[in-house]
Structures are given as C-alpha cells and as structure tokens.
Structure 1
C-alpha cells in the first residue's frame, strides 16, 4: 500500500550557514564564537577541522541548487550568518546581501522553497564580548538583526524561523561545555534561555511590523520525555524534563505564556531569571505561525540519584535512563526510536491547538562512510534509508490521526561540518570529498529520497 502524504507536502533538507558556507572570516564576515574558539583551542575540534573548513557552499551554491532539484527537494532550510550580514551588528555587509539574494533566488529558480533561520548557534564575537545571551543587550541586538534580514530578503523568503534548537546553545554553552563559553552554571543557563526566548519574541514582533506576506516560526528539538516507570519519583523527573526542555520554548511560542509549573520550578530551585515588566505582554502578543520540530532520539528519564534543592544541575531533577531494550546508532551513541515521531504528532494535535508544524530535522550520522562505497563510487547508505523510512511510517500514522504536519526535512543535504565533531559523522544525501575540493557525489539515499518526493510518499 502506498502511503501518500498531504498535498503540497514539503520534502526537503536542513542545514545551516556556519556548517556549510565556509569563507568563515572572508568576504566581510566577522568572527563568531566558533571562529574565536577554534583560534584559541583548536585541539578541541575533531582533526583540527574548524569553521573555515565547512562545505564551501559560498562558492558552490549554484551547483548545489541544481543538485537539490536533481533529487526532488521542493524546500530547504538554511540560516543566515549574523556575522556575515552585520559584521559589527550595525552596518550591512553588501557582499553578504548579494550572496544571500543570489542563493535564495537560485533556490527559487530550481523549484526549492527557502525556509530561512536566523540563528544556528553562531553568536557574534563582538556581542559575546558584551555578555552574549547573558546580557539583555543581546535581545535588542538580535531584534535589529532580524528586522534587517526581513527587510533585505522578505521579497524572496516567505517562511522564516528565529532560532534552531535554542535549548542546545543554552545547555552546551552554560551546562555541558560543548559550545563556547563552556560555562557550568545552572542559574546563568536559565537566564541565557530566558534572554533567548525574549530575543525570539522581539524578532517575531519585528516580523509582524515588517512583513505582510509571510510566516514565522521557531525550530525546537522536541521529544516528550519517557519515564522509567510510573513511580511518583520517575513521573516527577519526567515533568521536570518536559518543563525545562520542551515547554520552556514551545508553550510561549504557541500559547503565549510560560507555564506556571515552570515558573514555580525555577523559583523553588533559586534559578528565577531577571525579567522586565513588559515581557509577559510581549510573549502573549507575539506567538508563531508554525513550529519546526527536530527529532533524532527520545529523552528517557528517571528519578535523580542525587536530588538537591536547590538543584545545581539538571541531573539533580532528572537523570538519563538507559532503556535496556533500545536500538542504538553506535556512531552517535543515540537511541533509534521512530515511534516518538508519532507521539510528537499527537502532542502537537492535542496539546498545542494542532498548530501547523513540520519535521525540521531527522537523520542518521555515520562515521567512515567510505566503507560503503560501491564499485561505481557511490555510498550505499541503506541504514539511512531504513532510518528515514521507519520515521516516515510513524509520521504518516500521526498525520492520518489528524496531526497538522506539512513537511519532512532530513538532516542534511550535503555532508556538513558539525561543531567540535567536524566531519566525523556524515549525514548528507551527497558525499563531500574534503580531499578533492569539496567535490559532491550522490549517495543511494539521495536517489531514494528523489523517488519519495516524486511520489509524495512511498
């Protein structure tokens, strides 16, 4: 039986400016935190692969737009580099304007709808030196950048998102040391999260004041937490995990309010952030048109072995639970659990007004893919095809149950650089040969996806 998806379903891929463009300190672009961190601590980066080593989309975007068309993509989500567009936060880099206008126009000319995101973990260094997301100044700086982007590209781009996975730069930068400034401070992390939320809200406000024909959303990495058991302690851990990781951004973005239970939780643990009196009304007034949801792995939790009040780390509220029956992707150490996509679909239908949403990232990272090169030089990535098909089966089931999902984007289009991991794990429909001028070659999954997109199902 063919599983046919809704009419005008978006079949595409997702990527980001810092992970693909290259030219990281060229063509008028200033340093982001990644450029700075690589400069001062290159040993932290896999095989010394830094932001300058990304996939050279800056030079190859025209051919890449043809490649998008070749495998049937009708949409692509990427981001604008804040430090390229506004190198000092104030003055437009005209070369960047030309590059992005050409890139987005080229996508449209090849039948690919651009979905453009504003922030993908690439904090400008000039703003980090003023406190970064710890400072309220970042909210106004981001709103100005957002307004600038809307003014420059709003005639070409009709779907915008403010942030990709805001919880990641909060956790990785202020709890777990995977992003600069690599601080471990729960209270600062909550403040950073709050300022990020307000930056999102103020960007939505700028959008409403600037754009008349478009939509704006936010991209969140969402999985409802799964408790180890139905014990009160495990269920309390699940609630804390859901409040902090899911509802902290999803509720204000869709419903216009921060859950009272979350406000109570941070107060109990002496983590309450500094807020302004007008913030509550702004959050209420500037909700989103749609949500992008990234999904790779479930969040399984259990009661903390060292509960603390006040909590010093999230692990004092909930701990990861290693489900003994899990199927694992050994390269990332991530559980493969496609059923969660169905649970997410039902959550969006039943708890979030059935707002339009799409799978904004889903994919499988594998190391040493050259092992799977066939005689014709193509990577036979059947594991990736199986991964995506399994997830699409559950997504289809969720849509059949009435969830308002309008698209599926794989991570990613061409193999890209991934922060401290460099090119260790590959995700693309196209292989990138780093030793041969970033030459692209299609993988088996790219041919499979072309068929899925052409048939609007499988």
Structure 2
C-alpha cells in the first residue's frame, strides 16, 4: 500500500476549447471550418461545458476527487484587443466559486493552445507585441479571480512545437496529423486566417519568446490579488535512446524538454504531462514494438513513462511537481483502469523516494474534442452523448475516486 502526502491533489483536467463549445472567436475555430481543414470535424458545441460546468464539477466532487484543472478562454475574455468582457470574467469567477463550493481546488490554465482571432491576425506569437499582450491578459484575469485561485498554469505545453519539430510528433493528438500545425521545418505555425488546414496561432518554437511571455505573466499574476502558486505545464514524452540513437536522443531531449524545464526553475511548480514513451534511433523515432498494445492515438501503451518523466522534471527543474495530465485514449474502460493503476504505481514510487509531487490530474474529465482527431479519441472519465450532452460516469472514474478518498494506492 502506497500512501500519498496529506493535501495531495486528486483530480481531472479539461481545456476550454475542447469542452466549452461555441468558441467562435478563437483562432482554431477558423482553422476547423477552413476549406481543406485538417480537422476531422469542427469543435462545434463540444461538451457544452460552458453552461453545464456546475453538473460536471458536481460529478467530479461526488466521485471523491478534490481538484479540477480547467482553462479560462482568452478569446472570450478579450474578444477584441484591449476590450475585456466583464461577462466572461464573471463567468469564470462563477466556475471557480463552484469548485470551492464543492470542496474542489481549482487549478486554472490561462492559455491552452487557443488565442483570439485578433491576436492571430496580428502575428500571433511571432509579433513583437505578443509578450506584452499576453501579460496584459494575465493581469486582467488575475485581477478578477486571483483572490480565489491557489494554482495557476500560464501556458499549456508551450514546448509542443519544439516536440513537433524535433520528433515530428505532437503529443496531444494522433501523430500523423500534427494537431493541424504547419509542417514547416522551422516550426512556425501556419496563419489561421484564410489558409486551409491551419491550426491557428500556436506557440512558436522560439523558447525565448514563450519564456519571456511566461515570465512577464508570472510577474503580472504575482502582482494581482491572492497568492497563487504559478508555473507552466510541459509535454514530457519519456524519450529513450535505442542503439545508435544516443546522440540524437540527447539533442532532442535537450531542445524539446530540458531547455524548457530550465525555465521552470524560477517557478513555484512544474506541470508534467505524460502519456507514452518514444524510442529514438539514429534516424529518428522508432515504430511501436511489435505486439505492444496501442492507444486510439497510435501511441504505445506505456504507463511506466509517468514515473520516468516526473523524476526527470524534479531532478532538472528542482521545484515541486504536479502531474497536470496523464491518461489513455481507449474505448476499453478496464484498460483505462489498468493503465492508470500502473502509472500511479510509478508515481507512488517517486513519492516514496522523496520526490515532491503535489498532485495527479487525470486527462480528461470528459470525452472531448481532441483537436484534429475530433471526437474519435476517448480519454474521459465521463462519457458525453454527442447529441444530448448527457453525462455517463465510467467505472474508471469511480475507481480513481476511491483512490482519491483513501489517498493511497493499494
């Protein structure tokens, strides 16, 4: 039996664009509806979480989970540059309040891939004004909800373009589609306005830009009301060298993971987001081993990856760790339990060895919109009827809730 620390966060995560629905002012909405789009289908109404969040948070709390990571949507809050919607800000304050009323700790992400259309049209993250624009937004959000929020993630997976460039792999969707990102080898995102297949204004591969935006946002958040712990979340694939691939592995790991973890050294925590491993040979990624089970995404089912990346992040960043995403895309809920149990065993071993882990937030609370894959990938603890939006709690959710109630893995 493995006991987790007192106050450990047990929860689940979502992203605004993937669950709220009707996010028409976001850059990705444009890409979803563009002629020749690489998205399998548009996000549309998603899970209607924008209106149904009280039900969803109530379900989460009823399971025994005590934390919910969710995103506030920049495209709703600042629909035109310099205009901040009080109605949208009030909405997110109500979401935070609903968490607190249910005994759920809110973990709030300020930017989860999407940006407003105006931001994308003005050059996105490649604009000289991008850093200041994001910091201004972060300051305004914090002014409105900072007094109630104990944990803030500035960016979700800002290293995703670096991962794509160096591995030809995007960790949040099926590997063959690249989340609708540009295939340019320089890693710059395609423009969302009027170009087919564009994924919108995704974070630039330039770590200096994203680190500067993060640092300035942290400063703004720390200057606002409340005293939230602030960090960012990183896509950390368990990268493993195969024979002859050691040099390439070292270079990829440095550029796509370690350089970004360096930035976290000045933060209050680092968010680790891990799903699988990738083996790197002299010419790049190797195929999934023969006979190995795979997820709906095509990734190898390799739950041991989580323990490996948590140790890497803790050793390199030297700050507390929160697992902000971990899960499996499968229609087999028993397989979800098996995967999560094995991942948690590795996490428990980290804790037993003295690694400062503060929480585990499963991806995802709901079966939701998985970017270019549409609704085909089912990561959720709760199923959502695509016609009626009816929620159905899966056995895996109840299983995870029991672990959370006991705060131990038996």
Displacement of 1:446 in angstroms is: 1.2
Give the conservation status (yes or no) of the 8 Å contact 2:367–2:378.
Answer: yes
1:225 CA drift (Å): 2.1
Measured against aligned partners, the alpha-carbon deviations of 1:424-446 in whole angstroms (never above 9, x if no partner) come to: 011111110012x2110111111
Give the deviation of 1:131 after TM superposition: 1.1
Q: Could you tell me how far 1:152 is from its partner in structure 2?
A: 0.9
2:34 matched residue in structure 1: 40
Contact 1:161 1:217 in 2 (8 A): yes
Alignment partners' CA distance in 2, 1:171 and 1:144: 28
Q: Does 1:346 align with 2:307?
A: no
| 2:392 counterpart residue number | 441
SS in 2 for 1:166: coil
Which residue in the other structure is 2:70 paired with? 78
Residue 170 to residue 344, structure 1, CA distance change in 2 (3 Å): closer
Is 1:421 the equivalent of 2:403?
Answer: no
Pick which of 201-210 and 76-85 moved more. 201-210
| Inter-CA distance 135–173: structure 2 relative to 1 (3 Å threshold) | farther
Contact 2:275 2:306 in 1 (8 A): no
SS at match of 2:6: coil
When Rg is computed on C-alpha atoms for both structures, the one with the higher figure is 1
Sort the Cα spacing of 1:402 and 1:144 in 2 relative to 1 into closer, same or farther, 3 A: same
Could you give the per-residue CA deviations for residues 164-204 of structure 1, whole angstroms, max 9, x where no partner exists? 11122555699777356625131647654432221111111
1:283-362 matches, cutoff 5 A: 287-304=266-283, 319-322=284-287, 324=289, 327-353=292-318, 355-362=319-326
Gaps of 5+ in 2: 170-176, 190-203
Task: Describe the superposition over 1:202-237 as per-residue Cα deviations: whole angstroms up to 9, x where unpaired.
Answer: 1112122224522101100113521002x4xx2211
2: CA distance between counterparts of 1:181 and 1:332? 17
Aligned mates of 1:97, 1:188 — CA distance in 2: 31
Question: Alpha carbons of 1:203 and 1:89: their partners in 2 closer, same or farther (altered >3 Å)?
Answer: same
Q: For the residues of structure 1 that align with 2:33 and 2:302, how far apart are their CA atoms?
A: 38
Which residue, 83, 89, 93 being the options, matches 1:101? 93
* Mapped partners of 1:181, 1:393: distance in 2: 34
Larger displacement relative to structure 2 (5-14 or 218-227): 218-227
Contact 1:134–1:191 (Cα < 8 Å) also in 2 = no
Equivalent of residue 208 in structure 2, options 184, 194, 197: 194
Match of residue 266 from structure 1: none
Map 1:275-286 → 2, pairs under 5 A: none
**TM-score, normalising length: structure 2:** 0.89
Q: 1:333-380 deviations in whole A, cap 9, x for unaligned?
A: 111222232222332343333x110111111112xx3xx6xxxxxxxx
1:387-435 CA distances to partner (integer Å, 9 max, x unpaired)? 0000001111111111111111110111111111111011111110012
User: Pairwise CA RMSD of aligned residues?
Assistant: 2.2
Aligned residue for 1:426, secondary structure, equals coil
In structure 2, the residue matched to 1:16 is 15
Quote how far apart the aligned CAs of 1:89 are. Answer: 2.8
| SS of 1:51 mapped into structure 2 | coil
Assess if the C-alpha contact under 8 Å between 2:182 and 2:188 holds in 1. no
Secondary structure of 2:135's counterpart equals helix
Taking the TM superposition and a 5 Å limit, the aligned residue runs for 1:16-415 are 16-25=15-24, 31-41=25-35, 43-46=37-40, 48=41, 50-169=42-161, 178-179=178-179, 182-186=182-186, 188=188, 192-229=206-243, 231=244, 234-254=245-265, 287-304=266-283, 319-322=284-287, 324=289, 327-353=292-318, 355-366=319-330, 369=331, 381-415=333-367
Distance 1:169 1:243 in 2: 14
The structure with higher relative contact order (CA 8 Å, sep 6+) is: 2
8 Å CA contact 2:163–2:256 kept in 1: the answer is no
Cα distance in 1 for residues equivalent to 2:353 and 2:181: 43
Q: Tell me if the contact between 2:270 and 2:313 (Cα under 8 Å) persists in the aligned partners.
A: no
Unmatched 5+ residue regions in structure 1?
Answer: 26-30, 255-286, 305-318, 373-380
Give the SS at the match of 1:336.
coil
Deviations 1:220-257 (A, max 9, x none): 0113521002x4xx221111111111012111221xxx
CA distance in 2, matches of 1:399, 1:162: 25
Equivalent residue, structure 2, for 1:314: none
In 2: Cα distance, 1:123 partner to 1:3 partner: 41
